[in-house]
Chains A and B, each alone.
Chain A
């Protein structure tokens, strides 16, 4: 894992002290809320439905055991005993007191973490593949590149006041596990015919009010020009992105309005200019960063056999573990989606346990996924049973990864002041419904995503089944979308028709899954059947 150097630590520490002073001045009346609000937002502190909410950045979702312990301690000391892991691989605390926020940030800084640039019109936390460095299908570990981008984008003076917020994802596999094409910039590390590493740039994707899939604007940027090309993409956006209309200010609108060719041409011109300016950090810096991401000291000669005699464990093994690049090891995913639970929430005790498991069994590392689960990336297969037993005992043993119970849900109207409708109760009812009817296993891979408003933090556009909460004359209403995907075959879901109330949407989801069960062909997932038979068959069943 990357470790802060003297400069990183000094920057974060001084920011904490700066915010401490700003907070003091606010509490003493020397700053008005209008003056203070942008300052607190620059430090991730929102005012939400019930209290202040703090969003903490988890760079590319990676945490050490000590960091996870610190997040747990913060949940206990400053919040109400839990935290919420988000679709941006971050964590949010819902009940923060303003006068305690500086101490909280100081506690975070002690474990090399912060909440800077988790709000506002700047480059947000860089996200990545949660299986980076562990999965066999990657061409290289994407995290050093994500870290380089993190360092470039942190406090970048030119990009702290963009037209709108800006999200970047970096992956290095053919399989996209980070919704890369639905980011402002999606970067896929690739190898060219000469075997050299470079980056394919996808620019102008996003969800929200106007969902768009990012087109590829360049298939290969040499690795020693990665930052320069990123800078060019941002510069063109910063120059021409719309500031007159918040709803048209994201880069996706600029790319769409200019057209891919014109935007690309402008980026290339800017890129050519920037190449003469020598802004690229030396490759030695990338090499220095990469040393932090070297493989841990894997044991060799380990057996791949696992005793499957316990049926509960065997189910978890099949559902929640993935092959590791190293023989004798596995990737284990801890589901934060217990049946009827709150997607992404973890208690202090659960966070401490996950931290302990990471330290003891996974070379002191865990990851947050954009699907709001936690990964132990490097686990000896021989340890899986012991891990599962401890997870089971802590209510973390749900064997439901990528099933209809593994629902992404944003905080919705239970916590979020922008929401139109509650997301969590719908997720709870759906997971209970499918658990009760026993259909979860039969349905196989089915990605269901719920957002409480058009901002789409719950990625509803990209769900095989998506649900969007809307406000219909003051009451909660839910639209159903089908056919979205955020993988290699990224697609945007289509709205089926009129919305439903809370119970109605649960029924509608079940009816959609019944169509799949009735019409699927050998080996088809829900999404495959939907794409083959089309939306009408589903509409007919849903609306009768």
Chain B
């Protein structure tokens, strides 16, 4: 599947396209098929996202969205060396999802 990601213009936070809005949680991301460019252009023009780009993802064992490349998984979670600063600071399994 293709999902769309970018950064919030003001905060710089990593965001994911949910089909109608942007979320900081990758599990909210939806398959954009071949609509990525159109959505990206529209959302960027409206300043709801900065530097959008489509990436490859797949469904993980629990049905969640998992970017294919490790770089995007680190973007989705946060730095692996600072679990306290990730989106899931209390989840000891979060690091395994990245690696």
A interface residues, Cβ below 8 angstroms from B: 26-27, 29, 33, 47, 49-52, 80, 94-99, 342, 413-415, 417, 419, 422, 424-425, 428, 474-476
CB pairs A–B below 8 angstroms (11 shown) = A27-B47, A47-B51, A50-B12, A50-B14, A97-B11, A98-B10, A99-B10, A422-B74, A422-B80, A428-B81, A475-B70
Taking the closest CB of chain A, its distance from the CB of B1, in whole angstroms, is 16
Bound CA span A52–B30, Å: 25
Taking the closest CB of chain A, its distance from the CB of B17, in whole angstroms, is 17
B71 within 8 Å of A by Cβ?
yes
Point out the residues of chain A lying under 8 angstroms from B9, CB to CB. Answer: 26-27, 98
Write out, one digit per residue, whether chain B residues 1-30 have a CB within 8 A of any chain A CB (1) or not (0): 000000101111110000000000000000
Are B75's CB and A49's CB within 8 A? yes
Are A96's CB and B81's CB within 8 A? no
Taking the closest CB of chain A, its distance from the CB of B83, in whole angstroms, is 11
Are B79's CB and A50's CB within 8 A? yes
Are B78's CB and A50's CB within 8 A? yes
Are B13's CB and A51's CB within 8 A? yes
Pick from A27, A51, A417, A425: contact of B80, CB below 8 A. A425
Are A33's CB and B81's CB within 8 A? no
Point out the residues of chain B lying under 8 angstroms from A97, CB to CB. Answer: 10-12
Point out the residues of chain A lying under 8 angstroms from B10, CB to CB. Answer: 27, 97-99
Closest A residue, CB atoms, query B14: A50
Bound CA span A474–B71, Å: 9
Point out the residues of chain B lying under 8 angstroms from A422, CB to CB. Answer: 74, 80-81
Given A47-B12, A50-B79, residue A413 in contact with residue B74 (CB < 8 A): yes
Taking the closest CB of chain B, its distance from the CB of A93, in whole angstroms, is 11
Taking the closest CB of chain B, its distance from the CB of A416, in whole angstroms, is 10
Bound CA span A33–B10, Å: 12
Closest A residue, CB atoms, query B79: A414
Are B70's CB and A413's CB within 8 A? yes
B69 within 8 Å of A by Cβ?
yes
Secondary structure call for the A interface: mixed
Are B85's CB and A476's CB within 8 A? no
Are B70's CB and A474's CB within 8 A? yes
B94 within 8 Å of A by Cβ?
no
Closest B residue, CB atoms, query A414: B79
Are A29's CB and B47's CB within 8 A? yes
Point out the residues of chain A lying under 8 angstroms from B81, CB to CB. Answer: 342, 414, 422, 424-425, 428
Residue from B12, B75, B82 with most neighbouring chain A CB atoms (10 Å): B12
Bound CA span A409–B13, Å: 25
Point out the residues of chain A lying under 8 angstroms from B74, CB to CB. Answer: 49, 413-414, 422
Are B70's CB and A33's CB within 8 A? no
Bound CA span A95–B85, Å: 10
Point out the residues of chain A lying under 8 angstroms from B50, CB to CB. Answer: 33, 47
Bound CA span A98–B12, Å: 7
B43 within 8 Å of A by Cβ?
no
Pick from A27, A80, A425: contact of B85, CB below 8 A. A80
Point out the residues of chain B lying under 8 angstroms from A52, CB to CB. Answer: 12
Are A33's CB and B51's CB within 8 A? yes
Point out the residues of chain B lying under 8 angstroms from A342, CB to CB. Answer: 81-82
Point out the residues of chain B lying under 8 angstroms from A428, CB to CB. Answer: 81
B44 within 8 Å of A by Cβ?
yes
Bound CA span A124–B14, Å: 29
Point out the residues of chain B lying under 8 angstroms from A94, CB to CB. Answer: 79
Are B12's CB and A476's CB within 8 A? no
Bound CA span A49–B80, Å: 12
Point out the residues of chain A lying under 8 angstroms from B12, CB to CB. Answer: 47, 50-52, 95-98
Point out the residues of chain B lying under 8 angstroms from A50, CB to CB. Answer: 12-14, 75, 78-79
Within 8 A of A (CB), among B66-99: 68-71, 74-75, 78-82, 85
Point out the residues of chain A lying under 8 angstroms from B71, CB to CB. Answer: 49, 413, 417, 419
Taking the closest CB of chain B, its distance from the CB of A328, in whole angstroms, is 41
Are A476's CB and B47's CB within 8 A? no
Taking the closest CB of chain B, its distance from the CB of A156, in whole angstroms, is 30
Are A474's CB and B11's CB within 8 A? no
Are B51's CB and A474's CB within 8 A? no
Are A98's CB and B11's CB within 8 A? yes
Closest B residue, CB atoms, query A80: B85
Taking the closest CB of chain A, its distance from the CB of B80, in whole angstroms, is 6
Are B7's CB and A51's CB within 8 A? yes
Point out the residues of chain B lying under 8 angstroms from A476, CB to CB. Answer: 70
Point out the residues of chain B lying under 8 angstroms from A419, CB to CB. Answer: 71
Closest B residue, CB atoms, query A423: B81
Are B7's CB and A474's CB within 8 A? no
7 other A-B residue contacts (CB within 8 Å) besides A47-B51, A49-B74, A342-B82: A29-B47, A97-B10, A414-B82, A422-B80, A422-B81, A474-B68, A474-B69
